[in-house]
Structures are given as structure tokens and as C-alpha cells.
Amino acid sequence: MAPEGTRSGDGRLQKGHDGMTFIALRADAPILPMAITGGEHFWANLSRLRRTSIKVVIGQTFRFSVGQKKFGRTVMGKITEEGMYQLASLLPPERRGVYSDLDSATEDYLAFPPGSSGNLPGEKGR
């Protein structure tokens, strides 16, 4: 699922939409963040009959966790932001876009499997 709702023209992350969060919470589905880079060169390389190097980085699985509390749009936006920061941490700094400041990321609404930690730099277990 593309949490931005579209592809960016410049290859940088755009602000995530809450639809991904809504569906994941309703289904209690685990989220496996994946970042794919290099595809922006595909068509130019194809026209010159060159191979394109694609890099896929897969992050740590997590779930959104709000417990039994009711919440509104503000909390939903915060949860989406936390998920997007997990995705941004898998990308090179120049591709993080809106989520380039990883120091402002939180994990208040994220639940990781036992014995693991988040993707953000400086976390225990990395």
C-alpha cells in the first residue's frame, strides 16, 4: 500500500495519508515497511539498453497500537506520522522529504515484536 496515495515527482517522501493507518488499525494488520530506490532511472536506462540498479530495503515489522482508547483525527495523524518515519528511516537522507528530521520521530503508537526494536538510528538492538 502506498501511504502517500501517489508517487512523487522528485522521488522524495510526501506527507502520508491516514487511510493506511485506518485500514491497518481496523484489521490489526502488521506493517512491513519497504523502501525501493533506483526505479526513477529505469526509463532512461531502458532507452540506452542499460540495466537499472534497484535497491529494496525492508524494515522491522510493527503494528499500530492504540489499545482500547477512542481517538480522533489528531491521534490518527500522529500514528500515520510515526509509520511514515519508520519508512523514512529506510531511505537515504536525500529521499526522506517531509520526514527528513528523524530526531523528531516518536514511537508512542507503534508495537514491535518481542526482542526487536524500531528502524530509527540510535535504537537499542540495532
Tell me the per-residue pLDDT of 37-88, one tens digit each, with 9 for 90 and over.
Answer: 988 889 999 999 999 999 999 999 999 998 777 778 889 999 999 999 999 9
Cβ neighbours, 10 Å, residue 119: 24
Please state at what angle helix 73-88 crosses helix 19-27, rounded to 10 degrees: 100
Locate cell 502520508: which residue? 16
**By the 8 A CB rule, do 83 and 35 touch?**
no
The pTM (predicted TM-score) of the whole model is 0.84
**Tell me, what's the pLDDT at 123?**
47
- pLDDT tier, 124 (very low <50, low <70, confident <90, very high otherwise): very low
What does the DSSP 8-state code read for residue 12? S
Cβ-Cβ contacts under 8 Å for 95 (sequence gap 6 or more): 11, 12, 13, 35, 37
**Per-residue pLDDT, 1:** 76
Q: Is the pLDDT of residue 117 over 90?
A: no
pLDDT of residue 119: 66
